[in-house]
Amino acid sequence: MYRVTFHEDINDKKSTIIHYPNIEQIKLTSGNVGQGVNVVNSFTFTLNMKNPAYSKIKPRKSLLNVYNTKTGKDEFNGYVLRLNSTMAANGMYNKSFTAVDGLNYLKETSQPFAEIHNKTPKEFLQIVIDNHNASTDNHKKFILGTVNVTNSTDNVYRFLSQDMNTFDTIFDKLVDRLGGEIRTRFVDGQWYLDWMTVIGEEKTTEIRVGKNLKSQDRDEDTETVATRWYIYGATIEAEEGAEVSDVSRPRISISSVNGGKAYIDDVKGIEQFGIIAGIKVFDDVNQPNILLTKGKEFVNTYKQVTISNQVSAYDLSLIGKDIDAYEVYNSYPLNNPGITEKETVRIVEKRIDINNPQLNTLTIGDKYQTASQYQADMKKSQKSYEGLRTMVANQTQTIGNLKTQIANVGEIVDVINLEIGEADIPGLKQAVNNLNDVVDALNDSIGSIPVYDVATVYKDGLMSSQNVIKLNSLQHYDKATGLTDGLMAKEDKQKLNRILANQSIDLDQFMADFLALKELVEGI
């Protein structure tokens, strides 16, 4: 699925294949591509002495390409940065390499001092790129691609620093202040640099438990929670003629326009977390009424909880079971009721194992929630949990009722057999034998139902321990089948299926036929 080629240096025009999925003799011992948002992408790999590139790859010279033969796209383009050679105790020699993509070229040049004003953000970035291109090799130069990030005035006033490389300059002067995302593209031997507000698309292919979700690690961080915010403005200037000391000065507060209170409460936050003090300072605000307005806006939009996820998922697009592959920058529905309410998440990092694509891992971008959003999600989860408990309880009762009916049928069969034993009527025997055949078919289908103990999270019972864990925390599951897990495990669905008779039996008709037969026997 992944083909890896390299050039010894920029003058080597013929690429050499060092890894091919269908040729066992040309394989890397290991290979992992790392992709992310606003980071230098990487490719780490190991090869042994049998590989044709063992003695040819040179740091800072050799160029690497990782090509996805399934999608027809490049997963990585870059150059070798590090080399590590080893000899194991068994005498085996290996070399390990770390390669980085073209974004790292921007760390190899510096910027001249300059004062720049009356330039749009795009024009400023073009100046930075021009400075880079003027001081580097041709194959390391960039063309400015798509740029749509700006500010309210579409104008920046910045200084370029001599002690900062090009990469750090772009992030310090532009990305960290104005936002947006940086992406490199390698097209027809040329590097392009994009700077966009948001990169990627929203896809419909789910990451779902029971389908393609292998594991999930979710972290809800409430370390920055604050529910009672003390709002302050600029420092109060000392009165004219007053002695000025080094002691810190008081700040303007909102108490004069807020009923004597210098704080604003986040009511939903207090309901959820209690009273936790926080401080917000607006250094440029000198009027209490303006300060109060800004304070309310801040409190109403403050994100109390930081949520991060790491997911390991199977990419079913590789075998044609899903439409979309999982790509960095794109957003996908995440459906794992055992952990959280269904939500849309964005992939900000992806790790590709070129030898084991099924082991690819995804990192989901941090999600920030206000207290009211967090509280609403908690209530939804609790409601779904109660519904799930009721559903499972009803299923358990249904199974119990079926077993009782089975026992009653057995008693009826015993009575019929007794009546037959006391009557010697060939026609009657044949009729009852036919009934016995029907009942035997029923017994054959239900005879394998065992008696199950109550299940716990530590041992299986009427249901598996895994389903007990689901019951304790989940809110929704798809319907289970004998082949796939759902509300119950597929093994438990198979147990339930065993109680279905091979033939359809009307018990009321069965009893009516029996009573008529009994009346006939007694009348003889």
Q: Give the DSSP per-residue string, 337-392.
A: TTTS--EEEEEEEEEEESS-GGG-EEEEEEEEE-HHHHHHHHHHHHHHHHHHHHHH
Q: What is the reported pLDDT for 458? A: 59
| Count of helices and strands (H, E) across the chain | 10, 22
CA distance 429 to 432: 5
> pTM of the full predicted structure?
0.63
Strand pairing partners for 208? 335
Nearest to 278 by CA among 221, 231, 233, 226: 226
Q: What is the reported pLDDT for 501? A: 42
The CA–CA distances, whole Å, from 490 to 213, 470, 484 equal: 17, 14, 5
Q: What is the reported pLDDT for 484? A: 74
- Note whether 278 and 230 are within 8 A (CB): yes
Q: What is the reported pLDDT for 388? A: 46
**Token pair 């690690």 in the structure block, residue:** 217
Tell me how crowded residue 338 is: count the other CB atoms within 10 A of its CB: 15
Strand pairing partners for 102? none
CA-based max dimension of the chain = 129
Amino acid identity at 301: T
Q: What is the reported pLDDT for 312? A: 84
Give the orientation angle of helix 426-446 with respect to helix 507-523, to 10 degrees. 150
Q: What is the reported pLDDT for 39? A: 95
Cα torsion 449, 455, 457, 460: sign: negative
List, for the chain, all residue ranges whose pLDDT scores fall below the cut of 50.
369, 371, 374-375, 384-385, 388, 475, 501-503
pLDDT in tens, 325-351: 889 999 999 998 888 778 888 999 999
CA distance 38 to 52: 34
Token digits for 411? 């008693």
Q: Residue 406 in 3-state DSSP? A: helix
Cα torsion 123, 128, 129, 135: sign: positive
Strands (E) located in 154-242: 156-160, 181-187, 190-196, 207-208, 213-221, 228-235
Token digits for 98? 């770390």
- Note whether 310 and 361 are within 8 A (CB): yes
Q: What is the reported pLDDT for 311? A: 86
Tell me how crowded residue 138 is: count the other CB atoms within 10 A of its CB: 8
* Class of residue 438 by CB neighbours under 10 A (exposed 0-12, middle 13-18, buried 19+): middle
Q: What is the reported pLDDT for 314? A: 83
